[in-house]
Amino acid sequence: MRVGITYSKTCAPAVQIPASAQRSREAKIENGFFDQTAVQSALLPAVLGFVLTGAVRLANGRDHGPRVAGAAVALSFAAVYFLINGVPSLPPLSPLDKLVYGVAGGLVLGFFLDFTRVATFLRWLLFPAGFAALLYWLERPGVESAGAWALAGLGALWLASVAALWRLEAERQAGLNPVIKLLIAALGLAAVAMLGGASVIAHLSVALAAALFGFSLWNWPTNVFPYGAALLMGAGGALFLLASIAALYEKAVSLPALALLLLVFFADLAARQMYLGESRAARAAAPIVLAAVCCVPVLGAVALAHFLAIS
């Protein structure tokens, strides 16, 4: 079977998955209970996210366990990735092959930062550098000889990731808020990707959201595990890479709609205007209010993607 070479929307050559192989991959979803779309993309990652959160907490003890429990989200996402796509080639041949290796690299970095309690200013230096390294690796080979417009596009993606990172870090002590943003943004990405015909990215985005939901069950209505670097670099890195693959390699996916999803990470600024008080019930309702506000830009992005798809 011949495998053709194509290029991303910016610069990097990538292996085009043959149509027959793509159909074969998606046909796996049709057979057996664990191959059903709803199970792969929603039920299984939610269960894994919940179970592995407790397992990671217990495995790392009372001192380190709560800080690194968020690693369970990336582990759950990786398990579903293997179920849907199989074990990727090494060295990776396509952007989707690179996805799981990038998530693993981000998870290892985040786990190290949480386990060693790195100073805050070092986190601010390492996080943008880590996302830049992920984007560079995703676009290799070819980024070294990219033109000005291609580099500008990659720079815009990196700036978007840094803006989202900044907002997530700003809410680091705000309980479930960062997790809610990642969860709703992943669902929005799934909807936009599906409208653009990128079904594999859509399924993986739903799986990421479901794993985040499983983690959230431990932290609502009372926050138990803090939002740490393992969650940010693991789950956040997965979301960033999925959005980057959609933007760079899926020509039918709407770039304006993807850009609109960035507003999800600023939704807390509007949610603060809906102050509910300091009672226990109010604190339990705050993440629900934030989720509702986050849905506003998501609905706008989906509507925009639909309008551009039919126009």
Query: Residue 62: what pLDDT?
Result: 77
Q: How far apart are CA 214 and CA 73, in angstroms?
A: 8
Taking only the tens place, the pLDDT of each residue in 146-164 is 667 777 878 888 898 888 8
Position 37 scores a pLDDT of 63
Instruction: Indicate the number of domains in the chain.
Output: 1
pLDDT recorded at residue 1 = 43
Residue-wise pLDDT for 77-105, tens only, equals 999 898 888 888 878 888 888 898 989 88
Longest dimension (CA), the chain: 63
Q: Hey, what are 191's tokens?
A: 């909807």
- Provide the residue range defining the domain that includes 59: 5-310
Q: With a cut of 70, which residues of the chain have pLDDT below it?
A: 1-40, 141-147, 277
Q: What pLDDT shows up at residue 36?
A: 60
Q: What is the pLDDT of residue 2?
A: 39
Q: Is the peptide bond before 141 cis (omega within 30 degrees of 0)?
A: yes
- Token pair for residue 289? 């209010």
Q: Are 53 and 218 a contacting pair, CB within 8 Å?
A: yes
Which amino acid makes up residue 92?
P
- Name the burial class of residue 72, with classes exposed (0-12), middle (13-18) and buried (19+) by CB atoms within 10 angstroms of its CB: buried
**pLDDT at position 39, please?**
60
